[in-house]
A and B are shown apart, each in its own frame.
Chain A
Amino acid sequence: MSCYHLSRLLFDLKMNESRVKQAQTDFEGVMSEYDLTGEEKAALRAGDPRKLRQLGVHGMLCLYIKRLHPEFRDNIYWNQK
């Protein structure tokens, strides 16, 4: 089964800074704007890239869930593409 919408959310966390800011304060609201299954939402809430990869997302997109983790918020990686 396609995980297009899940991938799209993570792509937006890479490319759309306003989406990132919104997700940092209202992630449930952001998730509601994508066509996600319950399992996908649970994996996103867990914040573990390995779980997202198991759902079929490209591994390098999975890492972008870490943008929402306080420990990784200022990671230099987000300042390049």
Chain B
Amino acid sequence: MPLVSALAASHAPNILLEPGAEWEDFMNLHYSMAPQGSATRPTLEQQKKLRKDAEAAFAVLRADMEQAKPDVLIVVANDQFVNFFCNNVPTFFVTLADEVKGQFTRHKFQYRNHKELGRAILRKGMKQGIDFSFGEHIELQHTQVVPLYFLLPEAKIPILPIYVNTWVDPAPTPGRCYKVGELIREVADDSKERVAILATGGLSHFPGSPRIGEIDTQFDHQLLEVMRQGKGRSLVDTSVEDLLKAGDSEFLNWMVVVGSVGDAKAAYTSYMPDLVATGWGFVSWKL
């Protein structure tokens, strides 16, 4: 089966935090890095509207994915010092656990992990010169569960978390991430199951930086336009430095999905700067 559905969505924690006190906590903490960043704090009404708009975008992505009837959902995300630390930072990591769990405030998540698909990706990678790291245990964090809360709230199908290091210098190039996506598509082509893929993260934001609060909306809109035109291949020569400059390092997760869809045009895009830190982006490709 070829890939049947491809999605990309932001994973910013405040998407799932409740507007009001929880958002205030989130902002107070992040703005401790740069007090001037709080200049554009959204009102409660703005927070509620952002949540509603994000729910509407996720609803489109979920409907597209469900219509494709996938047997498994690959989730491409970055670890943020939960499973990996400075003693060992894998560039690409495939999960071989039986099941995966995580918690986000009062929300608990538990999914079967499709380790057979993981092994197939690992083996294909070994043959083609992409040597993934792998392991039998990971803990899910907001980089996966924020989108999963909206897209796969009931664990009807297994997932397969794949990690990209977008977090610790040096990160892989966009071109390398694109190749990983091509490889995943080849594995899906060889599979008897219907495979969906989701990239998470971004878009522009500067967490843990004095630039917190800045959002490069122009750069984000350029990326979304490229995906609408089906010209993701044109991004392979983008430098990591250019992504970092725009606060878009997590677009490296998206580049895996961009590589997996090739020249397919995105059927749906939605974008909303959250007035806090992040340009929230949502994309669906109907394959």
**A72 neighbours in B (Cβ, 8 Å):** 28-29, 32
**A4 neighbours in B (Cβ, 8 Å):** 86-87
In the bound assembly, the distance between CA atoms of A80 and B21 in angstroms comes to 15
Interface size of A by CB at 8 A reads: 23
Asked whether A80 lies within 8 Å of B208 as measured between CB atoms, the reply is: no
Asked whether B207 lies within 8 Å of A60 as measured between CB atoms, the reply is: yes
Asked whether A81 lies within 8 Å of B105 as measured between CB atoms, the reply is: no
In the bound assembly, the distance between CA atoms of A49 and B85 in angstroms comes to 19
Which of B13, B29, B81, B105 is in CB contact (< 8 Å) with A61?
B81
Asked whether B29 lies within 8 Å of A53 as measured between CB atoms, the reply is: no
**A81 neighbours in B (Cβ, 8 Å):** 80, 82, 102-104, 139, 141-142
Asked whether A59 lies within 8 Å of B104 as measured between CB atoms, the reply is: no
Contact digits for A37-59, partner B, Cβ 8 Å, 1 yes 0 no: 00000000000011001000011
Question: Interface on chain B toward A: helix, strand, loop, or mixed SS?
Answer: loop
Number of residue pairs spanning A and B whose beta carbons lie under 8 angstroms apart:
80
Contact digits for A1-37, partner B, Cβ 8 Å, 1 yes 0 no: 0001001100100110000000000000000000000
In the bound assembly, the distance between CA atoms of A46 and B80 in angstroms comes to 24
In the bound assembly, the distance between CA atoms of A11 and B168 in angstroms comes to 14
Tell me how far the C-beta of A30 lies from the nearest C-beta in chain B, rounded to whole angstroms.
17
In the bound assembly, the distance between CA atoms of A69 and B105 in angstroms comes to 20
Asked whether B168 lies within 8 Å of A58 as measured between CB atoms, the reply is: yes
**A15 neighbours in B (Cβ, 8 Å):** 81-82
**B17 neighbours in A (Cβ, 8 Å):** 76
Which of A14, A59, A75, A77 is in CB contact (< 8 Å) with B33?
A59
**B141 neighbours in A (Cβ, 8 Å):** 80-81
Tell me how far the C-beta of B270 lies from the nearest C-beta in chain A, rounded to whole angstroms.
24
In the bound assembly, the distance between CA atoms of A58 and B165 in angstroms comes to 14
In the bound assembly, the distance between CA atoms of A81 and B105 in angstroms comes to 9
In the bound assembly, the distance between CA atoms of A11 and B34 in angstroms comes to 21
In the bound assembly, the distance between CA atoms of A53 and B209 in angstroms comes to 8
**B167 neighbours in A (Cβ, 8 Å):** 58, 60
Interface residues of B (CB under 8 A from A): 13, 17, 21-22, 25-26, 28-30, 32-34, 80-82, 85-87, 102-106, 139, 141-142, 167-168, 207-210
9 residue pairs A–B, Cβ–Cβ below 8 Å: A7-B86, A61-B208, A62-B33, A72-B29, A76-B25, A76-B26, A77-B13, A79-B106, A81-B80
Interface residues of A (CB under 8 A from B): 4, 7-8, 11, 14-15, 49-50, 53, 58-63, 66, 72, 75-77, 79-81
Beyond known contacts A50-B210, A63-B208, A80-B141: 15 more, CB 8 A cutoff:
A7-B85, A14-B82, A49-B32, A59-B208, A60-B80, A60-B208, A63-B30, A63-B32, A75-B29, A76-B25, A77-B25, A79-B104, A79-B105, A81-B102, A81-B103
